[in-house]
Amino acid sequence: MHIYRSALLRFAEDGSALYEEDGLLAVAPGADGRERVLAAGSWQALSAQLLAQAGADTVVEHLPGRIIAPGFVDMHIHYPQTDVIGSPASGLLPWLNDYTFPHESRFVDAQYAGEVAHFFVDELLRNGVTTALTFATSHPASADALFAEAQQRQMRLITGKVLQDRHSPDGVRDETEQSLIDTEALIRRWHGVDRLGYAITPRFAPTSTDAQLRGAGELAARYSDVWIQSHVAENLDEIAWVRELFPDSRSYLQVYADRGLMRERAVYAHCIHLDARDRALMHETRTAAAVSPTSNLFLASGFFDYAQADAAQMLYGLASDVGGGTSFSPFRTMLAAYFVGREGRDKQGLSLAPSHLWWQHTAGAAQALGLPGVVGNLQPGCEADFVLINPQATPLIARKTAQARNLEELLFSLIVLGDDRLIERSQIAQKLG
Ligand code: GUN
Ligand code: ZN
């Protein structure tokens, strides 16, 4: 058993934040040998009993001035776009054609993919992200490379080979039948191995034929606990293109719905330009939105409508969407979400509460991924993925956080001023024995 004493942040079932200034987190291997949270709460309430049952191998680590918090969950990121960050374009489609597709073609080289995968996972962890749902490229070896890397670190990570069999240049375009064969082979090779999960990954409706989308939907029905990930309703030019390509569909989202691609564990990035029927469909099918505010601001795509999403009881969580997104840091993403959350409210109105922003990137994201009580939280039974935050990481952050009068002020100071410098440690639940 490992007992940590520090400030402790976690989330209740209803999404509200729980915080102990003098907290205790006890971690011990579960029945499968994986490190899990055994107890979490106040030091005063829990320590006597836990220390009484401590064995000779129990370690107690006192971390004064530090905050233990759930590892962040990034609901949508592209590992092959690590080097595409900061590529300027007038909008999504030129950005894809001018920078992203040419760059992704390099991942045909398995060795290159492996090198980027290694850097990418390092960068996730340096930023406190312990679980991600990420795109690979259309090359099966790109998914193999990231799975192997994540497996070595014992991370809970979900990825999949991209499906894109049309309107894509040579070098990234795949072939309909082979792409589905490759997808199924990857599912069988990786899904459920250690902490890895597979996501069936049609890039977006414009770059897949009807046959490829239908094939993806058939696989999603056959392998009901694999994930599905794609993009929807991000950009107005993209939406006009989908309307031309699928004239019989009521909406962009309906293209996916009609092909078996909306269900639990399906995650669509952006979901900006949805209408009321789309939002109701998201809710009814328990399909989740990956809100990607730095990307939406960078590519001038628009603003996720939090008020409408909440009114429709949509599942959602936060995502970096690197490389359309501009940062791996959950702090940057939460701050961008704060700016976006203010859109459409009257000028006097506040935006989203800091604890709600934080929840969207931890327990809320885990719930949206269909992993509640597994990652993204530190309640008993959760896998013990957590970050150690140093609120004294910079002079300004130390000065500002020292003046916080309550939890919301403390979290907001970290969100507004924070970045990778706050993350002193990212701890991944290990499997022992
Ligand atoms: N739509 C299709 N592909 C992409 C991508 O790589 N990034 C973003 N942001 N949108 C997409
Ligand atoms: Zn994306």
Going by their DSSP bridges, the two strands 59-70 and 266-270 should be labelled as: unpaired
Atom in ligand 1 nearest the alpha carbon of residue 234:
10
Choice from 74, 163, 204 to test ligand 1 binding pocket (greatest atom count within 8 A of CB): 204
Sequential pLDDT tens for the chain (433 residues): 999 999 999 999 999 999 999 999 999 999 999 999 999 999 999 999 999 999 999 999 999 999 999 999 999 999 999 999 999 999 999 999 999 999 999 999 999 999 999 999 999 999 999 999 999 999 999 999 999 999 999 999 999 999 999 999 999 999 999 999 999 999 999 999 999 999 999 999 999 999 999 999 999 999 999 999 999 999 999 999 999 999 999 999 999 999 999 999 999 999 999 999 999 999 999 999 999 999 999 999 999 999 999 999 999 999 999 999 999 999 999 999 999 998 877 655 678 999 999 999 999 999 999 999 999 999 999 999 999 999 999 999 999 999 999 999 999 999 999 999 999 999 999 998 6
Are 422 and 328 in a shared domain? no
Establish if 76 belongs to a structural domain: yes
Establish if 184 belongs to a structural domain: yes
Distance 304 CA to ligand 1 centre (A): 16
Ligand index nearest the alpha carbon of residue 137:
1
What's residue 346's pLDDT? 63
Q: Ligand 1 pocket, 162 CB below 6 A?
A: no
What's residue 348's pLDDT? 58
Establish if 185 belongs to a structural domain: yes
The secondary element (H helix, E strand) that includes residue 70 is strand 59-70
Can you give the pTM of this predicted structure? 0.98
Q: Ligand 1 pocket, 295 CB below 6 A?
A: yes
Are 258 and 115 in a shared domain? yes
Q: Ligand 1 pocket, 383 CB below 6 A?
A: no
Are 176 and 35 in a shared domain? no
Are 322 and 415 in a shared domain? no
Residue 282 to residue 311: CA distance in whole angstroms: 12
What's residue 347's pLDDT? 58
Q: Ligand 1 pocket, 78 CB below 6 A?
A: yes
Establish if 218 belongs to a structural domain: yes
Q: State the Cα torsion 216-376-429-327 to the nearest 10°.
A: 80
What's residue 350's pLDDT? 74
Are 327 and 396 in a shared domain? no
Ligand index nearest the alpha carbon of residue 77:
2
H runs (alpha helix) in 53-100: 92-95
Establish if 235 belongs to a structural domain: yes
CA angle 1, 74, 104 (to 5 degrees): 125
Provide the residue range defining the domain that includes 36: 2-70+377-427
Residue 305 to residue 403: CA distance in whole angstroms: 32
Are 179 and 197 in a shared domain? yes
Supply the CATH number for residue 90's domain.
Answer: 3.20.20.140
Atom in ligand 1 nearest the alpha carbon of residue 81:
6
**Which residue CA neighbors atom 11 of ligand 1 most closely?**
231
**Residue 52 burial class via C-beta count within 10 angstroms: exposed 0-12, middle 13-18, buried 19 and up:** exposed
Establish if 41 belongs to a structural domain: yes
Residue 147 to residue 142: CA distance in whole angstroms: 9
* Strand ranges for 82-178 from DSSP E: 129-135, 156-160, 162-163
Distance 96 CA to ligand 1 centre (A): 7
Q: Which of 368, 389, 413 is the last residue of a domain?
A: 368
Establish if 396 belongs to a structural domain: yes
- Do 345 and 310 touch, CB atoms closer than 8 A? no
Are 119 and 199 in a shared domain? yes
Beta partners for residue 159, in sequence order: 134, 198
Are 22 and 127 in a shared domain? no
- The number of folded domains in the chain is 2
Are 102 and 154 in a shared domain? yes
Choice from 103, 162, 164, 203 to test ligand 1 binding pocket (greatest atom count within 8 A of CB): 203
Supply the CATH number for residue 59's domain.
Answer: 2.30.40.10
CA-closest candidate to residue 418, choices 339, 356, 336: 336
- Do 80 and 142 touch, CB atoms closer than 8 A? yes
Distance 110 CA to ligand 1 centre (A): 22
The pair of three-digit structure tokens given for residue 134, joined into one six-digit string? 């990420």
Establish if 432 belongs to a structural domain: no
Q: Ligand 1 pocket, 96 CB below 6 A?
A: yes
- φ/ψ of residue 134, rounded to 5: -130, 145
Q: Which of 319, 351, 368 is the last residue of a domain?
A: 368
H runs (alpha helix) in 233-328: 236-245, 252-257, 276-285, 293-298, 306-311
